[in-house]
Amino acid sequence: MARQSPQRPDADEPQLDDTDAAAAADEVEEDRPPADRALWDEVRIDPVEIALPSGTGFTLRAYRPARELTPTDVAERDQDDPFLARRQVVETEEDEEVVILDEEFAALSAEEDDEDEEKDAKARRKDKADASDDDKADEAEDEDDEDEAGDEEVPVFLTHKGRLLLFKTPESLVTFIRSGAPNDLSQLDSWNELSERLEPADIAPLDEDTYELDLVVENLRGGHDAWDHELLIEAGEIARDLAYALRLPAVLDMLSAGSSLDDLDEALRASVNGGVGGFLGRRRLKKIGAQTASLGWRTIVGKISAVVDWRD
């Protein structure tokens, strides 16, 4: 039996190879009008999209010198936190545990603080009177360090009273901004301009401003070979920003230099750079426990989720 020739495509029908198909896809992408970034560049604020286990929402983020910002007020948030409102436990010299109610603990702390402040004030006056030229030079150097710290740009988000405002749709975010409702970004000099010009179509976060915190724990649980380096690196960036802006010291400590999660972050960054550094980074990753990393990140995601104020 003679072999049948494979069926040929109709000559009248144009066929696209892989290169042509890719070019066609690129052409479709080019037909889509890119989001207008002019407004965001002018006001120096960016839309951000954050995915958490409870959902995905839009918010805003900016970077400004620390001296120009008033930190978010967390007094009301912390008062409602059952973990911070728990009884204080201290140990006596006899190693007996004594339980002191919050009010008593606060009063004792206040008295001790007043005494310490008075002692410190006397010590400062004495030191100032006895200061040598070298001491004055050191003080000047310290002031320079403080000035540099004040000039350092730090993150600020669309927050209010220690809570991150996340909006499920661009329309609800724009409605909130136009409403004039109180928030921590309103202290920026460009806020009024944004409020007047912003449209829902402008809420189109860049890829680098889109974060998937909901996937981090599961990805880490998958083991070293399954780790998504870009996902985890970006998660570290947004978690640090949120922890600073929302005043979450526990999260900052977990991600601080020398911590296990910071070691993970450095190893991930080294591994994507290639070369000898990349090789060493991959070796370091193998030594990091997947379970420890996933548990740590579960805590971080949980603490961030706990201070989110979802808005429809």
- Quote the CA–CA distance of 149 and 200 in Å, as a whole number: 36
How far is C-alpha 102 from the chain's CA centre? Answer: 31
Pick the more confident residue, 121 or 58: 58
Average pLDDT of the residues in 256-271: 91
pLDDT band with cut points at 50, 70 and 90 for residue 92: very low
Rounded mean pLDDT, 19-38: 55
The two three-digit tokens of residue 69, written as one number: 């910002």
pLDDT given for residue 288 in this prediction = 85
- Six-digit token pair at 203? 């809420």
What's residue 229's pLDDT? 93
pLDDT at 91: 38
Q: In whole angstroms, what is the distance from residue 219 CA to residue 208 CA?
A: 19
For 138-192, what is each residue's pLDDT tens digit? Answer: 555 555 555 565 789 999 999 999 999 999 999 999 999 999 999 999 999 999 9
Please state, in angstroms and rounded to a whole number, the distance separating the CA atoms of residues 275 and 221.
27
Amino acid at 199: E
pLDDT given at position 104: 43
Residue 1 has pLDDT above 50, yes or no: no
In this prediction, residue 5 carries a pLDDT of 41
Task: Name the DSSP letter for residue 266.
Answer: H
Contacts of residue 161, defined as CB under 8 A and 6 or more positions apart, other chains included, come to 72, 73, 74, 75, 76, 77
Summarize the confidence of residues 240-261 as an average pLDDT. 96
pLDDT value of position 29: 44
Q: According to the model, what pLDDT value does residue 89 have?
A: 41
pLDDT tens per residue, range 211-245: 999 999 999 999 888 999 999 999 999 999 999 99
Query: Which residue has better confidence, 121 or 21?
Result: 121
31's tokens: 């037909």
DSSP letter at 53 equals: T
pLDDT of the residue at 143:
56
User: Can you tell me the mean pLDDT for 286-299?
Assistant: 91
Q: Specify whether the CB–CB gap between 221 and 191 falls below 8 A.
A: no
Tens digit of each residue's pLDDT (9 = 90 or more) over 52-90 = 999 999 999 999 999 999 999 999 998 876 555 443 343
CA distance 233 to 264: 9
Of 228, 217, 239, the residue nearest 296 (C-alpha): 217
pLDDT number for residue 93 = 41
Q: pLDDT value at position 312?
A: 86
Check residue 275 and give its pLDDT: 66
Name the residue with higher pLDDT: 288 or 92: 288
| β-pair type (46-52, 210-212) | parallel
Average pLDDT, the chain: 79
Highest mean predicted confidence (pLDDT) among 9-13, 17-21, 119-123: 119-123
Four-residue CA torsion sign, 103, 302, 310, 192: positive
